[in-house]
Chain A
């Protein structure tokens, strides 16, 4: 498959605008469809590698991907343009929904529906974690680290600013000893 990066900043902006505009129910599938299948800006392997890096980096994954890809193709202006294209429409959508919701928030049925949607979103987090966790099932040290993070942050409500550095140091130590 022939792949070629976007030729102009306008093209880059329109591509990321298309990703943001359509990304109901998750951005990644739309990012893949737009950049790999429709516009053919990069190959499947390249996409996977870039997303892999962005999933590892802190911060919103797809936001980071827009920065990394924009930079690769056009430098600073590319990073800014890709990021703005990605966020522009979703920002407007979410604000409009927020305003509409506020109008209706005192209505008990509306509040019940929205809270139900929120609990579903929480369930999707749990499902995602279980899916990612499958790869760790045979590694007791990794499972212990999972449990420790969950208990410290989710149940004991310790600050992530304390838990995160400790857990990373511990994790790297375990990984260097081949326990992870």
Chain B
């Protein structure tokens, strides 16, 4: 049953998404494209693009994937599945976290998570702009966007618009 499959797949991702959605993008891409076959790798980057361009949390890419796999019900189930387990965790950790404010273990866990998030977010970017075979045009757009983001302080929407224009030139 596909709704259950969506719920389980995204439910598990929810609990390992330390640092937010970017760090599970490689795993999401692997599961959705390679294991489940809900989208092709070209479609995955396009759904990701739509979720980036729309207002709201970037987690909404899961709704687009759920929608492609199982219609509107799939969209709702995927979104709830990716939010609910983490929400339950946030619910009881919020108090616990406060209580262990000065614990050396809390500091150790925080210090341990930081490099993981950096490495996995890098991997997310790399996987997204390397759909099937390496494509220098996608890498060039991604590198330009990363450099522009670090050098300029503009709303990312402008960068997305510029990237779309670059795509129209380079990718046809």
Contact = CB atoms under 8 A, between A and B. Distances in A.
B122 A126 contact: yes
Contact of A150 (B91, B94, B122): B122
Contacts of B107: 175
Interface in A105-146: 105, 108-109, 111-133, 135-136, 142-143, 145-146
Contacts of A22: 55
B50 interface: yes
A60 B83 contact: yes
Interface size class of B (residues with CB under 8 A): 35 or more
Residue of A63, A95, A133 with most partner-chain B CB within 10 A = A63
Given A27-B57, A53-B97, A167-B116, A122 B128 contact: yes
B51 interface: yes
B162 A149 contact: no
- Chain A, interface size category, equals 35 or more
Contacts of A55: 19-20
Contact of B56 (A94, A128, A180): A94
A122 B115 contact: no
A154 B122 contact: yes
Nearest to A160: B27
Contacts of B16: 58, 160-161, 164
Interface of B: 12, 14-22, 24-27, 30, 34, 42, 45-60, 63-64, 67, 72, 75, 79, 82-83, 85-87, 89-91, 93-94, 97, 104-105, 107-129, 137-139, 141-147, 149-150, 155-157, 159-160, 162-168, 170-172
Given A87-B56, A129-B121, A175-B112, 19 more contacts: A25-B156, A56-B113, A58-B89, A59-B15, A63-B57, A72-B94, A94-B54, A111-B171, A112-B167, A116-B165, A118-B49, A120-B141, A120-B160, A125-B128, A153-B120, A161-B12, A168-B116, A175-B107, A176-B104
30 contacts: A23-B55, A26-B155, A56-B19, A61-B57, A67-B87, A87-B79, A94-B64, A105-B46, A111-B171, A112-B167, A118-B48, A118-B49, A120-B142, A122-B45, A123-B143, A124-B145, A125-B124, A127-B145, A129-B121, A131-B150, A132-B114, A136-B114, A136-B118, A150-B120, A154-B126, A161-B16, A168-B113, A176-B104, A180-B111, A180-B115
